[in-house]
Amino acid sequence: MIDYQNILHTIYKSTGSETDRRTVAKYIPELAKINVHKFGIHLIDNEKRSFSEGDSDEVFSIQSISKVLSLTMVLGLVGEDLWKRVEVEPSGDPFNHLSLLEQENGIPRNPLINAGAIVVADILVSQLDNPKQDFLKFIRDIANDQGINFDSKVAKSEKETGFRNFAAANLLKSCGNLKNDVDVVLDFYFHQCSIQMNCSQLAKTFFLFSNRGKCIRDQSYLNINRVKRINALMLTCGFYDEAGEFAFEVGLPGKSGVGGGIVALLPNTFCVATWSPGLNKKGNSKLGMQALKNLTSDTGLSIF
């Protein structure tokens, strides 16, 4: 049996001693205030045993990580119809580029880039009675934790400064791939991204993707086919323009957010969440990437 606690401890010590942590995301003013020295890690194995190191109980903004959860919810609501409005191909472009979207007539490359997640948000706004509350309840239930919440300050901050998302949403609207008002969809989207979790909550939430669709409470949220497909999407598209690098160096499906969180998983084995707010130049947590690289090389575990 693998001694995860010992492995996490070693990783925490070696990775955490890194002094160059790059800088915190600046383009969302509220996120720019975070202490760059935070670093936490939490792993839950498929026997539901938990292992932690560092600041694993401190909440942070999960940001783009939420896109996997909105995708999960939307598949339950509309199923394969989703794929008429968004593709499943890697984008080969940084996370905020509009060029491809324009060239491809408003069909986003995949649901894990901003434009694709905005289309997913649009469908949720159409499908749900109380989109924000219903989505929050969905996540709380998966995580089995009613304490999870939006950070309304962060949502407001993005609303005031997220001009590139407004550009993307308007471009989608001009192409006929956004049904609701831009402001309504983005209000939902900014709230979705503002959800706060700590590493422990994040690992518990994504546990279902390593557990054949069953959440921590053993309730089934996805059939195995959809689990596999979402894992495939995370692997090919989960890290902006660094997805290939992550697959190549780490070899696990995962998703990062500009808040500095990363979650990754090995099917039928474990789910792990890291948090360190300093981002590399491609927008992924520098220490988180390093920690996960060490995890798969130390354990010899990966999907490949």
Given 3, 57, 81, 89, the residue binding its own copies (CB under 8 A):
89
Q: Which is nearer to its own copies, 127 or 302 (CB)?
A: 302
Q: Does 147 bind its own copies (CB under 8 A)?
A: no
How does DSSP classify residue 169?
H
DSSP output for 45-65: ETT--EEEEESTTS-EE-GGG
Site for its own copies in 166-185 (CB under 8 A): 166-168, 170-171, 173-174, 182
Hunting for tokens 């323009």 — which residue is that? 241
4 is catalytic: no
**Contact partners, residue 106, CB within 8 Å, separation at least 6:** 171, 172, 174, 175, 176, 177
Residue 32 lies near its own copies (rule: CB under 8 A): no
Give Cβ neighbours of residue 108 (< 8 Å, ≥ 6 apart).
Answer: 86, 87, 101, 115, 116, 118, 119, 172, 177
Interatomic CA distance for residues 288 and 273, integer angstroms = 9
Q: What CA–CA distance (Å, rounded) separates 10 from 43? A: 14
Least Å from the CB of residue 269 to its own copies = 12
Q: Which amino acid is at 32?
A: A
Query: Is 27 an active-site residue?
Result: no
Q: Is 52 a catalytic residue?
A: no
Site string for its own copies, 209-248 (x = CB under 8 A): ---------------xx-xxx-xxx-xxx---xxxxx-xx
| Coil/strand/helix, residue 279 | strand
- Catalytic residue list contains 240: yes
Query: Does residue 84 belong to the site contacting its own copies (CB under 8 A)?
Result: no
CA–CA separation, 262 vs 275, rounded Å? Answer: 6
285 is catalytic: no
- Per CB under 8 A, 105 contacts its own copies: no
Q: Please identify, among the stretches 7-15, 31-39, 96-104, 133-141, the one whose residues bind its own copies according to the rule CB under 8 A.
A: 96-104
d(CA 73, CA 85): 16
Residue in 12, 189, 200, 263 annotated catalytic:
189
User: Which residues contact its own copies by CB under 8 A?
Assistant: 87-93, 97-100, 102-103, 109-110, 163-164, 166-168, 170-171, 173-174, 182, 224-225, 227-229, 231-233, 235-237, 241-245, 247-249, 251, 253, 267, 297, 300, 302-304
Active site residues: 64, 67, 189, 240, 258
